[in-house]
Structure 1
Amino acid sequence: MKNVDYKSLRLLDLIIKEQGFEKASAKLFITQSAVSQRVKQLENQVGSLLLTRTVPPKPTELGQKLLGLLYHVDLIEHDAFDNESGNHVVTIPISINADSLATWFLSAIKPILDDRAIRLDIKVDDESRTLDYLLKGEAVGAISMQPLPAVGGTCDYLGAMDYIFVSSPAFAEKYFSNGVSKETLLRAPVVSFNHSSDMHHIFLQEYFRLTPGSLNSHIVPSSEAYIQLVLQNSACCMIAEHQIKHELESGRMINLVPELVQQKQLYWHRYQPESGTLQRISEAIINNAKDYLTQSPVTA
């Protein structure tokens, strides 16, 4: 493939975002057959399938790589025209962990959102997997626990999020009146963000020798509902300390084991060279993270 057909790639991107050929064709005011034909022409041009014909359609590995290229080209074009007027809005796909999104990230990039014609496309996942989105071309930047940059990329240390084990006072009185131990934890319901919440698993295994399957664990993939479950005396949990600052200060939550703090060291990843817009986003993220995250020494 000598030349990339970016117009057809944008159509491919639209099909994925609209989750189907029919909605994409309606958006473009053309027939579904015409959309399908243009995708087929692009696939013939590259000599490979770019889109799975599933419901909803998904990009193949090559399709996602080409879409990643499209995102970078859009950023370069956006910067070339210095388009602050809003005439050309560029999409910025970023993969991030839920705790960063719920706490410091949005305020960090507020100046960029105020000054630049950009559209955020946030992809939330566990910080152990967010880098995969960058590697697969699904994001132009990622906040990850991985300390090593991708091939052709760069990363900066942001700091560490401090996690503590908490519950409501009433829950603590019911389950931990004799202290937090392996025996009392086996009786107490806990809440995890998802089935891959490594922080809970590591904490309980390291300090209490408990395996994940031995606990009565609720799975609640919502930051707001996660906190609500603790406040209504239904569970205890590991959570980012800054996320519940007001609840701790008011006494609605208590730190069950103040001497035990778990840390997640976070890094900002992106490929080089950076476009002007992505560079501004990087600067905002790095500078604001230093004000919010614990600047503990980097561990190997």
Structure 2
Amino acid sequence: MVHFQSEHLRTFASVVEAGTFDAAAGALHVTASAVSQRIKAMEQTAGQVLLRRTTPVQPTAAGETVLRLARQLRLLEQDTAAELGMNGLGSSAPIPLVVNADSLATWFLEALAALSPEAGYTFEILREDEAHSTALLRSGAVMAAVTSTPDAVQGCSVVPLGALRYRAVASPGFMDRWLPDGATSEAFDLAPVVQFDRSDSLQDRFFRERTGGKITAPQHYIPDPAEFAHATLLGLGWALLPEQHCLENLADGTLVELFPGTPTDVALYWQRWKLHSPALDQLTDAVRAAAAKALR
């Protein structure tokens, strides 16, 4: 059985998070040579390379497994310290999570705000499309994820959260210019679209469901939820917006639905490491409660 020293596992996680051996050495208050020796010892124990010496360093496939172990150990240590009353506010390492941009902009922060400040939890949130977030769980980069994938990643549990409802919308001026007779197949095929970024697949899926084809019209990429909605209001293109970001505009006429009365629901799930942890348990309860209020 492979056995890593706990000190070496802490060093491994620090190197991955800091990006370089020198930066990790500074964070750990040891020399870069000591960090290098610990990593080499781990690789000898594992019998394979665990880190690619790039800038920043990257874990190999085997290294991702070790990183997950290192972070699980750190979480267990933090939970133990908290139960013993040894954790002060901000004394623990941030819990890494991945959340899609729309959830982050509409409901997810309510879950974090509901946690007791006395617990001292901090979080590092990575933003990723809900269809791609499970890759970060598999790699050990995060401990939990809001995802659209219902199948549990190995070593994780999964619970349904509900559905985030979207409306396909555009400004009245955009409709007059590009879709004067409504979203007919021919006109819709030419109408510009606003995309969040190049991993955003929401508009593409919607377009494919409506037309059976791919988007070939001009596309704008605006990776900020507020500016994304603003760009749609300004008439740069059509887009799918969460109801929380467009219902008032639909009511006052500053946005118009392309297909009235036909919203799009995206089912969301919470996946987390299958590890007994008071921190993850409390976070999971808070996420489920916030989702119950905000999602369909």
TM-score (norm 1): 0.89
**What residue identity is the alignment partner of 1:61?**
A
Kindly indicate whether the alpha-carbon contact (under 8 Å) linking 2:2 and 2:46 is maintained by their aligned counterparts in 1.
Answer: no
What is aligned with 1:101? 104
What is aligned with 2:148? 145
What is aligned with 2:293? 291
TM-score (norm 2): 0.90
Residue 80 of structure 1: CA displacement? 1.9
Percentage of matched positions with identical amino acids: 29
**1:58-107 CA deviation, whole Å, 9 max, x = no partner?**
11122221221222222222222325532731321112211111110011
**3-state SS, counterpart of residue 90 of structure 1:** coil
Identify if the C-alpha distance between structure 1 residues 17 and 153 changes in structure 2 by more than 3 Å, giving closer, same or farther. Answer: closer
What is aligned with 1:47? 47
What is aligned with 1:234? 236
Structure 2 gaps of 5+ residues are: none
Identify which of 196, 213, 228 aligns with 1:210.
213
What is aligned with 1:262? 264
Kindly indicate whether the alpha-carbon contact (under 8 Å) linking 1:165 and 1:257 is maintained by their aligned counterparts in 2.
Answer: yes
**What residue identity is the alignment partner of 2:48?**
S
Aligned positions of 1:51-90 closer than 5 A: 51-81=51-81, 82=83, 83=85, 85-86=88-89, 88-90=91-93
Taking the aligned partners of 1:216 and 1:43, their CA distance within structure 2 comes to 49
Moved more, 30-39 or 258-267: 30-39
Residue 16 of structure 1: CA displacement? 2.3
Kindly indicate whether the alpha-carbon contact (under 8 Å) linking 1:182 and 1:209 is maintained by their aligned counterparts in 2.
Answer: no
Aligned residues: 293
Taking the aligned partners of 1:141 and 1:168, their CA distance within structure 2 comes to 37
What is aligned with 1:253? 255
**1:202-246 CA deviation, whole Å, 9 max, x = no partner?**
21122233313x221122222233122212221111122223344
What is aligned with 1:298? none
**What residue identity is the alignment partner of 2:101?**
A
Kindly indicate whether the alpha-carbon contact (under 8 Å) linking 1:194 and 1:221 is maintained by their aligned counterparts in 2.
Answer: yes
**3-state SS, counterpart of residue 74 of structure 1:** helix
Identify if the C-alpha distance between structure 1 residues 150 and 34 changes in structure 2 by more than 3 Å, giving closer, same or farther. Answer: closer
Residue 195 of structure 1: CA displacement? 2.7
Residue 45 of structure 1: CA displacement? 2.4
Taking the aligned partners of 1:41 and 1:2, their CA distance within structure 2 comes to 12
Backbone CA RMSD of aligned residues: 2.1
What is aligned with 2:195? 192
**3-state SS, counterpart of residue 139 of structure 1:** coil
Taking the aligned partners of 2:32 and 2:110, their CA distance within structure 1 comes to 41
Identify if the C-alpha distance between structure 1 residues 31 and 206 changes in structure 2 by more than 3 Å, giving closer, same or farther. Answer: same
Kindly indicate whether the alpha-carbon contact (under 8 Å) linking 2:193 and 2:220 is maintained by their aligned counterparts in 1.
Answer: yes
Identify if the C-alpha distance between structure 1 residues 271 and 22 changes in structure 2 by more than 3 Å, giving closer, same or farther. Answer: closer
**3-state SS, counterpart of residue 274 of structure 1:** coil
**What residue identity is the alignment partner of 2:260?**
P
Residue 255 of structure 1: CA displacement? 2.0
Taking the aligned partners of 1:17 and 1:151, their CA distance within structure 2 comes to 23
Alignment of 1:7 onto 2:33:
no
What is aligned with 1:91? 94
Structure 1 gaps of 5+ residues are: 295-300
What is aligned with 2:175? 172
Identify if the C-alpha distance between structure 1 residues 247 and 9 changes in structure 2 by more than 3 Å, giving closer, same or farther. Answer: farther
**3-state SS, counterpart of residue 36 of structure 1:** helix
**1:101-133 CA deviation, whole Å, 9 max, x = no partner?**
111001122122623222212122221221222
Deviating above 4 A after TM superposition, structure 1's stretches of 4 or more consecutive aligned residues are: none
Alignment of 1:272 onto 2:277:
no
**3-state SS, counterpart of residue 55 of structure 2:** coil
Taking the aligned partners of 2:209 and 2:228, their CA distance within structure 1 comes to 23
Taking the aligned partners of 2:93 and 2:247, their CA distance within structure 1 comes to 35
Taking the aligned partners of 1:194 and 1:103, their CA distance within structure 2 comes to 18
What is aligned with 1:297? none
Identify which of 219, 222, 225 aligns with 1:223.
225
**1:140-186 CA deviation, whole Å, 9 max, x = no partner?**
11111122323443211100111111112222222222111122223
Identify if the C-alpha distance between structure 1 residues 124 and 33 changes in structure 2 by more than 3 Å, giving closer, same or farther. Answer: same
Residue 200 of structure 1: CA displacement? 1.4
